[in-house]
Structure 1
Amino acid sequence: MPIVELHLLQGYDDGVKARLGKGLTDAVRFVLPAAPEAVTVMVHEMAAANYYRGGEMRQPAPALPDPTRIVHDYLSAMERRDLPAAQAMLAEGFTMQFPGAAPMTTLEELIAWSKPRYAFVRKTYERFDAMPGNGGAIVYCFGTLHGEWLDGTAFEGIRFIDRFEIAGGKLIRQDVWNDMAEAKAQA
């Protein structure tokens, strides 16, 4: 039974500690064939007043935002067409790649590209998978698309996967895979 001990400065809320516990459990299970309930994570908290580095008292860094929440909030803002809210979640140099399209760097490009394809599209989420990567986080979002073609015909059940890269709490890249072209060809 693997046991992981984490020493943490006081001040982090229970949600942050839960994210750390899950992340450490997942890291152990990535290497060892252990069931989640077989991995023990012990969090030892220490008063920040007792923390020194370089001979100076230091304060703990704030926790990074949950990358899954960032992705969900971004996709929700896009679905509502709240472009200022969505734009605020993008890092400088953000790039997105959709099936059959050249890379795009602005939300306006995405809207112009999608305009001749469908009247609207919405997502039903099956799950979000988050992991560390590239100096930040990688989040995969899985689910199905539903909406309306330009002729007013409804569609639903079209599979999609979105992959996001996040650094510094901002989205830096989005890659999209879906079966929309195949579904449209059969409509």
Structure 2
Amino acid sequence: MGTPDAVRLVDHYLQLCEDRRLDEAGRFLAPQARLVFPAGREYSSLAQMAAGSAGTYRWVRKHRDRYLVGDAEGRVSVTSLGRLYGEWLDGTSFDGIRYADVFVLDDGLIAEQHVYNDLALVASLRNA
């Protein structure tokens, strides 16, 4: 899979996840895909991931600023860098919270997604 195709795949997957079209987004995942989120939370499905984020915010989306593509042990890796924006549970909006999502693709499917962001840090500072 070439660089443009890998970036398009990941970008489309992220858009579907943001739109909560999780069944469609799930078609981009390899069987047994690993979805690893901050604090080491690991999910086996997108529905499980969505349920795990309930209670943190009403909604969240991404300003996807740029992509980095490389080779990880013979598999394509794509990193999406940008900023989160959305709405906290109390209705207050947020923007500019940095994130990095690292994807490992295997045979044109997402085998791994590793999510790193400052959402919990910003939430804790907000509540302090």
SS at match of 1:74: helix
User: Deviation at 1:79?
Assistant: 0.6
Summarize deviations over 1:69-90 as a string: whole Å, max 9, x none. Answer: 1110100000111112101100
Q: From 81, 97, 104, give the equivalent of 1:142.
A: 81
What is the aligned partner in structure 1 of residue 61 from structure 2? 122
The separation in 2 between residues aligned to 1:157 and 1:169, in whole angstroms, is: 31
**Does the CA-based 8 Å contact 1:135-1:167 persist in structure 2?**
no
Q: From 109, 114, 117, give the equivalent of 1:170.
A: 109
Summarize deviations over 1:91-132 as a string: whole Å, max 9, x none. Answer: 001011111243111011101110111100000011000112
> TM-score, normalization: structure 2?
0.92
SS at match of 1:177: strand
Overall identity of the aligned pairs, in %: 36
> TM-score, normalization: structure 1?
0.64
Bigger relative contact order, structure 1 or 2, given CA contacts below 8 A and separation 6+? 2
Gaps of 5+ in 2: none
When Rg is computed on C-alpha atoms for both structures, the one with the higher figure is 1
Higher strand share: 2
SS at match of 1:103: strand
Tell me if 1:104 matches 2:58. Answer: no
Q: CA RMSD in A?
A: 1.6
Summarize deviations over 1:1-60 as a string: whole Å, max 9, x none. Answer: xxxxxxxxxxxxxxx9xx6xxx7xxxxxxxxxxxxxxxxxxxxxxxxxxxxxxxxxxxxx
